[in-house]
A and B are shown apart, each in its own frame.
Chain A
């Protein structure tokens, strides 16, 4: 009964959604004075950043990104808070299994490469596809791999915490420096450089690196906390 009702309702909802979106049309420019043209223009001409998505994420809509980083930070904190137990309740890892030697050796081999890839991606966030989030996520994958392979693998909570906090602090401080320098928050106060070079785009690169660190630390911490969850 309930399922039937739900299907009925969802059918109506789907109908209206589909009616709305199918009327949109696909694949042609649909507005004259949208903001995207401005973004595409300014990315090249002013910011000297190759990746428009990055320029939007970090500069035009940098405030969103700050918020987004905060959301992640809060999520990790919330996770810790929700799963919090008193010290003596905390056991060792609950998911313990013996990984095969191949996995262990392979992981050991792959781990530096994964880290390196991640770092590469967030450092070149303003030039190539990818950026802080993607790079951070890749780095976290590396740690996940290690955690899966070695039951005794430990990541220092303190270190994660330091990295996380420092990255966040630097992000905000850069924003504030821009505020002091140019009067608006997150304003670029460094030379923009030349398009398609590593040191271009002013603060964008730095911010994205910080985001990368932060995301990496947070995701790792997140995985780590859940792994230590025990009934």
Chain B
């Protein structure tokens, strides 16, 4: 036994409580300990994933109560993969933001790293928990960390962004609670596996209403179209690395929650079409809005929302190929978008307004960072031989298998828009003259930031040139998601086998 999934939650929580104390001993520990914890989570999630790959799903019970009664954690191929993505990103974000802005005082710095750690832990919790109310709690943990991180910088509009985020997040939790109330009132249980197994007994009227409230509640976290007003503001005003964490961590967890509802909990086939529709609308609106952005991070934020729309479309296809494509997309997005946020936040480091027009000619002064930004742009718009291409291709082939030609056409048209706005920025960075009055004063990234970005860049290239490095994992994860009865059996039986 290499460890247990519960440690993915318990250790960061313990660390969060410990940090204020040890911060009094040596201040630097406040920065270092979260890194160590995140590294530990990374190692643990990877080893667990390897183990899951060999021995099958790990179901962890809490407080010794068997599955339908106690809370349980499910570490399967799917959740393990997502948890690994999340912890990896968490670690990279830590590495990047270690002394990101050195002039920040000790107190906020302390909180920053705690929040970051809790953001990652909360997202991991959302993914690996097997209980809807527990998921709600983790959503709140993630949410509060995210609000705090959004409002991290004083003196900017960050409080406004955070307040909008909080307002929406609060509504989201209200909707979630309503949905939980409906489900509990009908089925008398909160365990996902048991809900899934009993779902067919539920009155369809309640089922649909519960689904709608669930999707609305989680959709706010997953940035579905009319619910994502907070997202661009939060991405823009949060510190640079946190934008990466939002794109790579929070949204991933939200998307996971949505698909878990649609694929496992509810047995409404029409929900897949619903996902496609919603995903397409999100994709189109977000990408078209991104086209006209003046601020770099805001553009990246809309792009991120658009990508999530695409992920939902791919999930909505519902076949193995579709799920595979969606997971691939999520993986790629989790690798690429943080790279863009990382390098982008250094491109506009010294700028007040963070406008796109301020990056003119920076390629000359910070070739490495700018090059990585270009690499990320190339990858995210799906140019081969970079990572994004393979996921886009698999989405399209999956859609084509189902004969969704209109979807393919729309996705491709939107891709053109995506290309336009990304390349406008790349052009500015590399091929326009540096202008002292307009452009930003260049700021070279620190060593640790360079490492974090390089890791991501290498991942992009590896996946791009040799996608088979990850496809095996993705295939088993997608089989895992589609295997609903397997999930139910795993959770409930393992619970029973652990006689107490």
Contact = CB atoms under 8 A, between A and B. Distances in A.
Given A64-B137, A77-B114, A78-B148, A184 B105 contact: no
A91 B91 CA distance: 37
Interface string B202-220: 0101100100000000000
B125 A67 contact: yes
A90 to B, nearest CB: 11
Query: Main secondary structure on chain A at its contact with chain B?
Result: helix
A24 B134 contact: no
Interface string B22-64: 0010000000000000000000000000000000000011111
Contact of A172 (B13, B60, B69): B13
A175 B61 CA distance: 12
B70 A60 contact: yes
A228 interface: no
A53 to B, nearest CB: 14
Interface in B138-175: 138, 140-141, 144-145, 147-148, 151-152, 154, 159, 162
Interface residues of A, number: 59
Interface in B174-232: 178, 182, 185-191, 203, 205-206, 209
Interface string B1-37: 0001010011001101110110010000000000000
B134 A67 contact: yes
Interface string A13-27: 000110011011000
B107 interface: yes
Interface stretch (A32-40, A105-113, A136-144): A32-40
Contact of A20 (B125, B147, B209): B209
Contacts of A100: none
A183 B188 CA distance: 28
Given A16-B209, A35-B69, A64-B133, A78 B144 contact: yes
Interface in A51-87: 59-64, 66-68, 70-71, 73-75, 77-78, 80-82, 84-86
B65 interface: yes
B159 to A, nearest CB: 7
Given A17-B178, A73-B17, A77-B148, A35 B188 contact: yes
Chain B interface main SS type: helix
A120 interface: no
Nearest to B147: A78
Interface of A: 16-17, 20-21, 23-24, 30-31, 33-36, 38-39, 42, 59-64, 66-68, 70-71, 73-75, 77-78, 80-82, 84-86, 158, 161-162, 164-166, 168-169, 171-173, 175-176, 178-179, 182-188
Nearest 6 CB-CB pairs, A to B? A34-B188, A168-B17, A31-B188, A78-B148, A67-B137, A186-B63
A66 B154 CA distance: 30
Contact of A165 (B17, B64, B148): B17
A63 B5 CA distance: 13
A149 B418 CA distance: 61
A82 B63 contact: no
Nearest to A72: B144
B125 A30 contact: no
A9 B67 CA distance: 40
B184 to A, nearest CB: 8
B250 interface: no
Contacts of B185: 24, 30
B118 interface: yes
A81 B148 contact: yes
B20 A61 contact: no
Interface in B62-79: 62-65, 68-71
B211 to A, nearest CB: 12
Nearest to B62: A63
B69 A39 contact: yes
Interface-central residue, B9, B65, B107, B186, by most chain A CB under 10 Å: B65
B62 A184 contact: yes
